[in-house]
Structure 1
């Protein structure tokens, strides 16, 4: 699995915490830099956190409890040849190439490259993990073992054991391994991540850069971070330094219990800058329990594209407060379509659970076994209603829309919507080709957006296709203009536009007052 790209909008090196470390990096670095160079790198990438105090003056009792159960996970993967054809991780084709060059460049040390005669068709990668069962059951990140042809676990006492992949889940980035040992292995206990508060002290334990098991201290910086890496993002943000190789290692509280799994970092320079992320233990523990039974996890599937309900959206559809998940698109033939869910519906409840935002719905649906029947609470056209749906199986298969016949374009071109700051035009054959629209696409194309008006502030962009106004489909610029005008005359504070943008369909609420 390629590294998760987090916080993509910043366009900087957003790195998976302890993403795969190619073994030649560790070996070559140790040979070229020596102990002095290594000390320099560690000092510059692991910034000490001021003000951290341990209970009774030391974290040693906590480390003594948790560290024996922390392991190093080494995997062997088939090398992928790049432009040079030599399979080198630094051949310019590797997703790790850029940040390794940045990292070594920052230290004044050139990025190592294995000579062609030493190239191997295999590459080794490094991560961490922790033992949750004395029988040899180990938890780590999925990205640490994804694509591995063989897995080896090194215990805290140096014992090396071959490991078997019991189960893995890419969506939650979790995997369970199993090793056979001659004696019961030390374990670490799960903690309760729901009790964590911003400011609580935590320790991260793992094997950064392959230098050996390392402990760093910090605090919980934030809760509930969404990195847009998957449907279940609910990360704990920490400032305890974690680096490449820490992935899969435990984040423990001051009692030595696992309250998170170190998974990702955000970094502009390849090293820790005090912005790390861990999967909450309460989320991980449920997934691990399923993975211990073997294989993959089947997730429920509804078949809707959803977005948050903002205050402007709530005002446009008559909700007294923002909340729920706004349905922007319903996949043809999906469980949602069969149940009668419509574009513009707001799902406020699922299976008796309140839905406060799209993430709530994603998690609730995913946790339901395929085939189950669930009741949805829906807000539609100013009224609350209940809809029953059969949850399907999430196969992640792409759904394509059927093509219709080409219609005659309207002759009403370039209509203005001055109150919102939009210039609209009809879909002509030339525009259809330029925007790569399907033959059956209908609506009004946004030709111009006044940067000082409400539509620009709401996020409407040139090239967007408005397909519905306040849930009423529009086929031309004139229809869109008339519908927006009627919404304004009705006394509404905002108008709800359904917009096609690329491969996505989204609702955008544009306030009249700001226009």
Structure 2
């Protein structure tokens, strides 16, 4: 669609790229030289300037009051970055890769012609040679990278070298060295390469991206469109951008020109330190429109060091499932505003072994870092060392308290897909997120496993199971029909045996229940952290909450497999 932003983020690697450069004559851009004023002629009359007394007096220039020096807060923009760029260019390299791909098929189908026709040879030359069909073809791509160690370690993006058979690092002086892949991390799109130089290389240091502020000057150096080392200048436009590129999105946004081929190149501060790795752009045309994104070094530096040391990343793992805290859930929990990460389940045999964290808790801070929104938790957890004993501040039963947990190690398997997030509105199904999620931080595991965690909370931990014989009759509320979850209902809806509560048997279209994502086969496990096992208990708990002046009812819901989530049903 014309003038529309592409549906996917454009990676800045140029694949099989042919660039046509139109060079205009220099004089097309030249301006006529300014004419120097001539002094008045002396002695002659023709063309002489009138006497000085006849010239009008020049207007008095307005007096502009200069602000005091102290008012000019912050570092001034550099008048030139030539000295800075000169010292950095030798550390920025081009990454050239080649990959064998199988020819996907022939071109136009050759028409049948009579054997012996004088045109037979012409047709054979024009149409695809059948002997070449199905053979491997070499495809090349270009990207950028930078040297972080004089011994030959080079950082780039994973998507620059992904699937490559051969990787070559090209230095500004034209030197070409074969590179070996040391390690890669798909979650942050980072890779480390190793070359063997004859002499120590020029390297650049990592800086602290956390110290960068919106408006600070930055400089990008890279290989746009295969042109070689190119320098662009801009500022930090925003921080902490989530572009849905991975589980730990925390991008720096910059208006420094970043184009195809800049991927993997460094983003420098004005001290010559790398504070970001250029990774993605938004562009309707394929070229820079001033919206580029870089992985901040606060995330990248630890990943790079782990790839060099271990050949892989070793991330902390909390072993919980989480979902966002929206306005309704915040109101139902008594929070002043939506914040934190809501625990919807705890993974069996994970780091949480003694109920330190329970389903229904809201994590507000982790290891001294505030969890402002759900996606913060996975990133903070992932950046924490494996085996570290950390302090977690959470909200439980309307009160803040602090617990301590010891982190496990995240594994890229289905079982470890915890700490992953769920749907943005917090009311969606907790579906498995293919292991990437997990660590989306403390996030939930959209987890396909039958709730091995939050479930344990059902009766004793986060709610009290009711004694006595409650009414077993079906009931309706919010446009949903409810029934006791007996053996027949388990079979009818295919609900896992481990799931207990009140089953939703029908949902009216357009009802409040439908708007909250409830559907037949869902099971209401808790209402306001009290376990429910009959429709009458659900209605009773809702009536009590209304009498207390609550605005929403905080309801734990399990899907057929036992994966938990929370919804807030309005009481007004």
Q: TM-score range by the shorter chain?
A: 0.7 to 0.9
- Pick from 391, 412, 433: which aligns with 2:474? 412
Aligned to 1:342: 358
Which moved further from structure 2: 150-159 or 363-372?
363-372
Task: Work out whether residues 182 and 307 of structure 2, in 8 Å CA contact, stay in contact via their aligned partners in 1.
Answer: yes
Pick 1 or 2: higher relative contact order, CA cutoff 8 A, min separation 6: 1
Is 1:494 aligned with 2:552? yes
Partner of 2:567: 508
Per the alignment, residue 262 of structure 1 pairs with 278
**Are positions 1:65 and 2:87 aligned together?**
yes
Distance in 2, Cα, partners of 1:119 & 1:214 = 37
Q: Residue 141 of structure 1 corresponds to which residue in structure 2?
A: 157
Structure 1 Cα separation of the partners of residues 129 and 187 of structure 2 = 34
Q: How does 1:434-473 map to 2 (within 5 A)?
A: 438=496, 441=499, 443-445=502-504, 447-448=507-508, 450=510, 456=515, 459-460=516-517, 465=522, 466-473=524-531
Hey, what does 2:8 align to over in structure 1? 14
Higher share in helix: 1
Displacement of 1:386 in angstroms is: 4.0
Question: 1-side partners of 2:560 and 2:84: how far apart?
Answer: 51
Could you report, residue by residue, the CA deviation over 1:58-112 in whole angstroms, capped at 9, with x for unpaired residues? 4433332322211111233453x59x468x9xxxxxxxxxxxxxxxxxxxxxxxx
Task: Give the C-alpha shift of residue 131 in structure 1.
Answer: 1.3
Deviations 1:383-437 (A, max 9, x none): 3444343322211322432899xxxxx7626x132xxxx4344589999899875
CA distance, structure 2, for counterparts of residue 228 and residue 132 of structure 1: 28
1:430 and 1:274 mapped to 2: Cα distance? 60
Structure 2 unaligned spans of 5+: 25-75, 108-127, 416-448, 456-471
Give yes or no for contact 1:13–1:268 (8 Å, CA) kept in 2: no
User: Who is 2:235 aligned against?
Assistant: 219
**Superposed displacement of residue 250, structure 1:** 0.8
State how 1:94-113 maps to structure 2 within 5 Å.
none
* In structure 2, C-alpha distance between the alignment counterparts of 1:288 and 1:211, rounded to whole Å: 27
**2:423 maps to which residue?**
none
Q: Which residue of 2 aligns with 1:232?
A: 248
Give the Å deviation of 1:277: 1.0
Find out whether 1:156 has 2:172 as its counterpart. Answer: yes
Q: Which moved more, 1:250-259 or 1:353-362?
A: 353-362
Shift of 1:440: 5.0
2:542 to 484, 501, 513: 484
Pairwise CA distance, 1:344: 0.2
Counterpart mapping for 1:178-197 below 5 A: 178-197=194-213
Q: What's the secondary structure of 1:168's corresponding residue?
A: strand
State how far apart, in whole Å, the 2-side matches of 1:474 and 1:13 are.
44
Pairwise CA distance, 1:490 = 1.9
SS of 1:336's equivalent in the other structure is coil
Count of residues in correspondence between the two structures: 441
Q: 1:423 aligned to 466, 480, 493, which one?
A: 480
Could you tell me how far 1:178 is from its partner in structure 2?
1.9
Q: C-alpha offsets along residues 180-232 of structure 1, whole Å, 9 cap, x if unaligned?
A: 22223222333332232223332322223323333333332211112233332
Give the corresponding residue for 1:401: 450
Q: List per-residue Cα deviations over 1:5-34 (Å, max 9, x = no partner).
A: xxxxx9943224314x43xx22xx35xxx5
CA deviation after TM superposition for structure 1 residue 238, in Å: 1.7
SS of 2:11's equivalent in the other structure is coil
Quick one: structure 1 residues 35 and 11, their matched pair in 2 at CA, closer, same or farther if it must change by over 3 Å?
A: closer
Per the alignment, in what secondary structure is the counterpart of residue 83 of structure 2? helix
Mapped to 2, the partners of 1:37 and 1:431 lie a distance apart of 75
- Indicate the residue corresponding to 1:199 in structure 2: 215
Residue 283 (structure 1) aligned to one of 295, 299, 312: 299
SS in 2 for 1:292: helix
Q: Structure 2 residue aligned with 1:210, among 226, 236, 248?
A: 226
Which protein is bigger by CA-based radius of gyration? 2
Q: Structure 1's 455 and 120: CA in aligned 2 closer, same or farther, altered over 3 A?
A: closer
Normalising to structure 2: TM-score of the pair?
0.66
